[in-house]
Structure 1
């Protein structure tokens, strides 16, 4: 636990909340003059035992439950980055999931301009793999330039996707399916992901692969065979990153090379000296 950082974050955000906004009367005579909610008022609003929040803010609550941290974060109106900081300060680990289900569903509009400026194929999807932005190079990968609305569903269930992703049964599906399982672990109530899971379980080809429960957390750095609509067969190396304002979203940059030979599989990792 990082007591100093935890105390600073909670005090600052607590001070911004007017007691009157939650039905509390500010004393007019002698008494408390500090801005914001009192620690006792926080306990009342969260339906916690008196002194619970004081223990948290003072750093005297080892391993506080995530449910308490989530309730505090929502009461204080923390954003996703502050939610991550709260969990790191209090638990020394990242949160088990986003603060709000709606998080990860949108990114700042400048991402379209940023993606347009990338020479390689590039796109941005939200936490449900719904397409948010892509460049012309990426559209060229598909027949007629028709980009799928959801890349996860396309990769796993679309017949054209299985043709484009060469060696689909061994090089793609076993690596993509675990990402759905991991996403549902942090977003169990995501309707889009749940629907895709239902479709996967109803498809004999994907159901068995999904049941195998392989572990492959992300595609960053993977090199896999791909049939490009304009360039023909080749290998694509994937660079994956996440826009920080949208947990669960992803920026994908696809570096494609024509031919039957791998290009990047033996490239050394980049390190600072």
Structure 2
């Protein structure tokens, strides 16, 4: 995907070669017989997989609709059509993001599948185990998928919560452990819950947490007030460590690329907050001569 700047506006530009390459490659992997269609045998058609016309049939679109998309002659294709094609071609989440970017509409507004973000490759447990600081991995519903030993030791009696969002917002242990919970934690985390529901409005786990938050006397005013979702990456918040006492977490967050909405969170504990002038500067690539 490329962009073109015009004054104060930035316009997404379709990447026609990349779009064509992605679609042709994935279309060739879909056998027509899987959908009860015959494989064309006429002259001039030697490509594997579905024909462009068969894609139109399977997506219930007018003739040549898919051909226009694959050749880059369909400016600003609607997301619902791109989703149809992506599911027909069995794209994964990374390919779905690439499809939307190549088509010139930017990042997709939502995951390709409702189950996306609910599982990550098992190798991520090894990644989490290899981190020296407290670290954990959650799915898109904030259910805990993986954690390391330093994080397990952080919870009293090693009572590790099943859902980190619920523990932060609703668990009495969370409210006691996370210092200044009502000013430093809840106001920052509730907007993240609201933002997650905007992307996954049918997520039963998130909906239950939201309902409980809306009924909770301490959270109800914050929930009704709304608020912007502030990404926690690099944020610093007060906490009580079971061994080291009061201190601060510096929160670093990232996302596995194949699981939209999941998150890897690393918690760096310090007994004292950083002074403004001690904050680590942003990382930037060195200028190339």
TM-score by length of 1: 0.95
Q: Secondary structure of 1:124's partner?
A: strand
Task: Quote the residue 2:215 is aligned against.
Answer: 202
Residue in 1 that maps onto 2:140: 127
Residue of structure 2 equivalent to 1:21: 34
User: Unaligned stretches of 5+ in structure 1?
Assistant: none
Q: CA deviation at 1:92?
A: 4.1
| 2:76–2:105 CA contact under 8 A, matched in 1 | no
C-alpha RMSD of the superposition: 1.5
Q: Distance in 2 between matches of 1:64 and 1:272?
A: 35
1:28 positional shift = 4.5
Q: Residue 254 of structure 2: which of 236, 241, 244 is its match?
A: 241
1:250 paired residue among 257, 263, 280: 263
Partner secondary structure for residue 136 of structure 2? strand
Q: Which residue of 1 aligns with 2:57?
A: 44
Is the contact between residue 142 and residue 229 of structure 1 (CA under 8 Å) also seen in structure 2? yes
Cα distance in structure 1, aligned partners of 2:30 and 2:124: 33
CA positional deviation for 1:226: 0.3
Runs of 4+ in structure 1 displaced over 4 angstroms? 28-31
Shift of 1:31: 5.7
Q: Deviations over 1:72-127 (max 9, x none)?
A: 00000101110010011113411111111111111121211221111110111111
On the 8 A contact 1:6/1:89 being kept in 2, the answer is yes
Alignment deviations for residues 54-77 of structure 1 (CA, whole Å, 9 cap, x no partner) = 111111111111000000000001
Q: Identify the residue that residue 211 of structure 1 maps to in structure 2.
A: 224
Q: Contact (CA 8 Å) 1:88, 1:94: kept in 2 or not?
A: yes
1:78 aligned residue: 91
Shift of 1:24: 1.2
Q: 1:262 aligns with which of 274, 277, 280?
A: 274
Distance 1:220 1:28 in 2: 55
Work out whether 1:35 is the aligned partner of 2:35.
Answer: no
- Aligned match of 1:158 in 157, 163, 171? 171
The structural deviation recorded for 1:266 is 2.4
Q: Which runs of 5+ in 2 are unaligned?
A: 1-13
For residues 172-229 of structure 1, give each alpha carbon's deviation from its aligned partner in whole angstroms, at most 9, with x where no partner exists: 1111011111111111111111111111111121121012111133100000000112
